[in-house]
Chain A
Amino acid sequence: MKDFIRLRGVSKKFGDFVAVDNVDLDIERGELFSILGGSGCGKTTLLRMLAGFELPTSGSIEIDGVDVTDQPPYERHVNMMFQSYAVFPHMTVEKNIGYGLRKEKLPQPEIAKRVDEMLELVQLQELRSRKPDQLSGGQRQRVALARALIKQPKVLLLDEPLAALDKKLRERTQFELMNIQDELGITFVVVTHDQEEAMTLSSRIAVMDRGQFRQIGTPKEIYEFPSNRFVAEFIGTINTFSGHVTARDEDSISVAATEAGVTLTALGKQAVEEGQQIEIAIRPEKIFVSKEKPDDGDAVCLPGVVDDLGYLGNRSLYRIRLESGKIVQVSSQNRRRSVTRFLEWEDKVWISWRPRSAVVLLD
């Protein structure tokens, strides 16, 4: 199947500053695709090029088989939901939602019918004749969404769609967005700096840094198999041990990690040479803490002491200091209810993990 959105060699320069650097990207029809990155990584510029507000310095953009590289925004079958929502303050909810159809010069009854459908979809029927300053942030967000969706775009672009909402509302809206996307089958491209938002929403994520993609994959791939150090550290927390490659076989690599005091083995198919300096990385929740040395021949077991701990309700965070002085972060679920703490500061403990849980990072 041919890709629905195709970017080839797209760059955008502002003077000397390269905001987007020679990017290729393929997005399939009906995907909920996220572009994730910190501020200034070029994600918003990329989105604005998809919308047509910025023209690429070089490269081409194709949507549904049509080259739209030089098309102005009002000719593209792409609509955008702005971070600020950009709801027109001088128009009622109804007028806002119907704006795009009025610009298409559709007959009035048709506009009225489709506005009604949209009002129902975003559950704003009762507020139809309100003005935006009489709406809450969440309601304004829905007006912005309905206004963009009513044009039945081929692609809906969402710039930080949930950033302005409080935590509870954000979680609810996340699922609403997913349902709406599922119902209408429109391709969504979301730009966000919030990894949690990207993880729950998306079918695939592109992690962006300094104008380039560092990894593109499903949320699971990105989290469990980060292909480089940037992605590993950007998404969640990760412990890394660096060292020289001592051995490798078909799908695993061993490293003499001085900080751990032992040889560590991790899954990895990368081409490495013996003696090369690489990193073994392991997520905090993949590590177990115990007071006794675990009886597991395969596991990596390292002694240490509790340097710090934090109780978060559903889980506890531990910072374990190894003999080398290296701090390892461990996260464990609080399965049992208990008033007393399982571990205290300066307790002697063992941390352990399965080699299959660790990954190899090259850069």
Chain B
Amino acid sequence: MYRKLIIAAPYLWLLIFFLAPFAIVLRISLADPVIAQPPYSPTYSPDSFTFLLTDKLYAITYLRSVIMAAGATLLCLALGFPMAYGIARCQPATRNMLLLLIILPFWISFLLRVYAWMGLMNNYGAINNLLMWLGIVDQPVQLMYTDFAIFVGLAYSYLPFMILPLYATLERMDLDLVEAAQDLGASRSRAFWDVTWPLARPGVIAGCLLVFIPAMGEYVIPYLLGGSESLLIGRVLFDEFFVNRDWPLASAVAVILLLLLVVPIVLLQRYQARDQEGTA
């Protein structure tokens, strides 16, 4: 009885805070917008979805978001892997210190940190001043309000979510395995690709999901660092809800975003399950 209660707890949580809200959003997405309180009709219609799927602008926005999020994920992986690897190979005392440094930014509000990037990247900010002082450029480079700025903001904000799961897998890895590969004739780089990389894969997958999923729906970073014309799905979602007050369309955008995120995860899990079966 007691045990069942404990097992039920996470399901209950999911039911109340995920499934129920999702059902509500799905219901709204299938309504018509009306000027009323609440701003949707009690009737059912697929109009929002047909509009979404026929208007090219939405497709482009989804695609741009996927590309942005994927790019930021790859950048995080490229930066995070060597960092996680380095930390995992340190003495335990240094290791804890470095991990603390990775987590330390969370002590400061996320919003403040994004604002700090504005200060760094604007036309007379630290980066441009440095470039001009070094004589690399003679007038400020436009960094703020570009896709580049969004990219930097995403990679910066989500890097710790990549490093931590990578660190967890790399730290557990037996160093003898790499030496064994070298002993059997693999060069250093070959040993990395034959042993370290495949064994780090669970961490790579976890890190990529932790970065990609929130980056996909990110609203604050594109809003603050991106230009007004750089449309990303989080921004569209916000505008449909609060500017256009078209709740059904906004809900439809959210439902499709969720599908875009869930489908790859399910496929991935199926792939992993098959991989596990292969061992049996």
Residues of chain A at the chain B interface (Cβ within 8 Å): 51-53, 72-74, 78-80, 82-84, 86, 88-90, 99-100, 103-104, 131, 133-134, 147-148, 151
Contacts and interface: CB of A to CB of B under 8 A. Distances in A.
A113 to B, nearest CB: 18
B38 interface: no
Most buried by A among B176, B185, B280: B185
Interface of B: 174, 176-177, 179-187, 190, 194-195, 198-199, 279-280
B174 A86 contact: yes
Given A53-B182, A78-B183, A151-B184, 19 more contacts: A52-B183, A53-B183, A72-B187, A74-B182, A74-B183, A74-B187, A80-B180, A82-B179, A82-B180, A83-B176, A84-B176, A88-B181, A88-B195, A90-B199, A100-B184, A103-B190, A131-B279, A134-B279, A147-B180
B185 A100 contact: yes
28 contacts: A51-B179, A52-B183, A53-B179, A72-B187, A73-B179, A73-B183, A74-B184, A74-B185, A74-B186, A79-B183, A80-B179, A82-B176, A82-B179, A82-B180, A84-B176, A86-B174, A86-B176, A86-B179, A89-B177, A89-B199, A90-B199, A99-B181, A103-B184, A103-B185, A104-B185, A131-B279, A134-B280, A151-B184
A148 B181 CA distance: 10
Nearest to B187: A74
Nearest to A132: B279
Contacts of B187: 72, 74
Contacts of A100: 184-185
A72 B198 CA distance: 24
A84 B180 CA distance: 10
Q: Which 5 pairs between the two chains have the least Cβ-Cβ distance?
A: A103-B185, A100-B184, A86-B176, A86-B180, A131-B279
A147 B177 CA distance: 13
A360 to B, nearest CB: 44
Contacts of B179: 51, 53, 73, 80, 82, 86
Contacts of B181: 88, 99
A134 B174 CA distance: 18
A229 to B, nearest CB: 35
Contacts of B185: 74, 100, 103-104, 151
Nearest to B175: A86
A79 B185 CA distance: 9
A100 B194 CA distance: 12
A222 B157 CA distance: 65
B192 to A, nearest CB: 13
A208 B255 CA distance: 70
A160 B182 CA distance: 20
Contacts of A131: 279
B199 A147 contact: no
Contacts of A133: 279
B182 A147 contact: no
Most buried by A among B176, B199, B280: B176
B173 to A, nearest CB: 10
A133 B182 CA distance: 22
Most buried by B among A86, A134, A148: A86
A82 B182 CA distance: 12
A131 B176 CA distance: 18
A133 B186 CA distance: 23
